A = this chain, B = another copy of it.
Amino acid sequence: SPIPTGSGNRGMRLEDDINESIAYYRRENIALIHKKPTPVQIVNVDYPARSRAKITEAYFRQASTTDYNGVYHGHYLDFEAKETRQKQSFPFKNFHDHQLQHLSDVARQQGCAFLIFRFVASGEIFVMKATVFMQLKAESTRKSLPKDVISENSIPVQSRAFPPIDFLPAVERLFFR
């Protein structure tokens, strides 16, 4: 969400780390991953003389996809990254239905669809196949996924100085080994 609420701010910190990591991947020719622009519905635009077009009325639109996609050795990658302040489990509601639907569509097209989880308190990061997450969600009777279940069904990533979240080795292990 582009709206600066408390939860949005938390999201932005993880997003900053992901953005730095994908910029590193691009610079080093490891992978080409971009964050998609925030979808905006433009209602009114002014064209003042001698200056650039100014949008004077617009609204945030619901995204129909995830935030990140790109290419890695010819393969299509698509993912969503979320964090929680909860210590023992990750709320299912942090992932929106349209994001999971999109990741399910990607997986059906044989793309690499995955999720990055961060637990803010412990700093732990996990990378999980989106299809595995959806299976666990479908089987669950709870509102959140326990951290030990996440840990058993994903690859951990150590956060570090640079790049802050080196998630591609986990993607390699999940999809190509």
List A residues at the B interface (Cβ < 8 Å).
2-3, 26, 29, 31-32, 34, 36-40, 42, 45, 47, 52-61, 64-65, 69-78, 105-106, 108-111
Given the known interface contacts A36-B36, A64-B34, A105-B32, the answer about A53 and B3 at a Cβ–Cβ threshold of 8 Å is yes
> Could you tell me if A74 and B76 are in contact, using CB atoms closer than 8 angstroms?
yes
Given the known interface contacts A53-B60, A76-B76, the answer about A111 and B71 at a Cβ–Cβ threshold of 8 Å is yes
- Chain B contacts of A109 at CB under 8 A? 29, 31-32, 71-74
In the assembled complex, the Cα of A74 lies from the Cα of B111 at a distance in Å of 4
Task: Choose among A2, A29, A75 the residue with the greatest number of B CB atoms under 10 Å from its CB.
Answer: A75
> Can you pick out 23 interface pairs between chain A and chain B where the beta carbons lie within 8 Å of each other?
A3-B45, A3-B47, A3-B53, A31-B109, A32-B105, A34-B64, A37-B38, A38-B40, A38-B42, A40-B42, A40-B55, A40-B58, A54-B58, A55-B55, A55-B59, A56-B57, A58-B58, A71-B76, A72-B109, A73-B109, A74-B76, A74-B110, A76-B77
In the assembled complex, the Cα of A75 lies from the Cα of B39 at a distance in Å of 25
In the assembled complex, the Cα of A78 lies from the Cα of B105 at a distance in Å of 18
Other than the given A55-B59, A58-B58, A72-B109, 19 more pairs (CB < 8 A) read A2-B42, A3-B45, A26-B105, A31-B109, A32-B106, A34-B65, A36-B37, A37-B61, A38-B42, A52-B60, A53-B59, A53-B60, A55-B58, A56-B56, A56-B57, A70-B76, A71-B106, A74-B111, A76-B77
